[in-house]
Amino acid sequence: MKTEIIAHRGASRIAPENTMPAFELAYDMGAEGIEVDVQLTKDNVPVLIHDENVKRTTNGRGFIKDMTWDTVTSLDAGAWFSRTYTGTQIVSLEEFLRWAKNKQLTLNIELKNNKIDYKHIENIVYEMLAHYQLLANSTISTFNPNSVERMKQFQHKVGVALLASRKCGNLVKTAASIGANALHVKYRLLNQNLVKACHAKGMPLRVYTINSTRRMHAAFKAEADGIFTDVPDKAIAFRKVYNKHK
């Protein structure tokens, strides 16, 4: 089994996370998938940014939910990372999907709605994926179990993943009971029994965020379906070595 290499917020170790340069680099490196984070602006435009507040990754301050799309596009989302990326803008989900549409990539769209439960974000993202005919190779994920339940209606058309950072009862049973058809877990939770339990349910198991070769080795050995990594080039190179010596 080939564990899929998914670029976490793009090639985010060498370019500003969740921006077009990071996505383009990841694609050029040969990543098989790209993971992005989605929040909603005040005027309900889905945009790609991890934090609810723009302070860490832009030259602005304040919450995405309080800003219009026009305000968001005026922010510099690259200079914080390096001068090379000065002037890089926050990307809308639509812009990203237009770019990804004709590429051989799987997409993981993480809804950042565990702190701010954005109204209708599930439907907005689903309908945009449907519009660009990208449902078949996409997964929508969230830490918010209520959000997963709201996506039950989508589960036969698109991947719906529950995200988990700590063990809480039977994760596979919990995920399935609320309507998830995939499970994404923090690397500390990974073990072969969990992978087997997921696969017995026909549920892909993907692991985040894996940057060291030691953790990559553990994920490949356990036959996880995918890993999220900030260094897709490193992961692809190591997977070749691992498969050669397996």
Q: Could you read off the pLDDT of 70-121 as tens digits, one per residue?
A: 999 999 999 999 999 999 999 999 999 999 999 999 999 999 999 999 999 9
Average pLDDT, whole number, for the chain?
A: 97
How far is 14 from 30, CA to CA, in rounded Å?
15
Amino acid identity of 132?
Answer: Y
- The per-residue pLDDT for 168 is 83
Query: How far separated are the first and last CA of the chain, in Å rounded?
Result: 11
- The per-residue pLDDT for 106 is 98
DSSP code at position 220? H
Share of the chain above pLDDT 70, in %: 100
pLDDT score of 1 more than 80: no
- The per-residue pLDDT for 151 is 98
Mean pLDDT confidence for 11-30: 98
Output the six-digit token pair for 49. 């940014």
Q: Which of 108, 193, 105, 116 is nearest to 147 (CA)?
A: 116
Residues marked as catalytic:
8, 50
pLDDT score of 228 more than 80: yes
- The per-residue pLDDT for 169 is 87
- The per-residue pLDDT for 188 is 97
Mean pLDDT confidence for 195-207: 97
On the CB side of 193, how many CA atoms lie within 13 Å of its CA? 3
pLDDT score of 214 more than 80: yes
pLDDT score of 152 more than 80: yes
Confidence band (pLDDT; 50, 70, 90) for 59? very high
Amino acid identity of 182?
Answer: A
- The per-residue pLDDT for 70 is 98
pLDDT score of 239 more than 80: yes
Confidence band (pLDDT; 50, 70, 90) for 203? very high
Chain-centroid distance, C-alpha 202: 20
How far is 89 from 184, CA to CA, in rounded Å?
28
pLDDT score of 237 more than 80: yes
Confidence band (pLDDT; 50, 70, 90) for 167? confident
Task: Look at the domain 4-52+93-245 and name its fold.
Answer: TIM Barrel (3.20.20)
How far is 196 from 204, CA to CA, in rounded Å?
10
- The per-residue pLDDT for 153 is 92
- The per-residue pLDDT for 194 is 97
Mean pLDDT confidence for 210-228: 98
**Is 165 in contact with 186 (CB distance < 8 Å)?**
yes
**Is 65 in contact with 145 (CB distance < 8 Å)?**
no
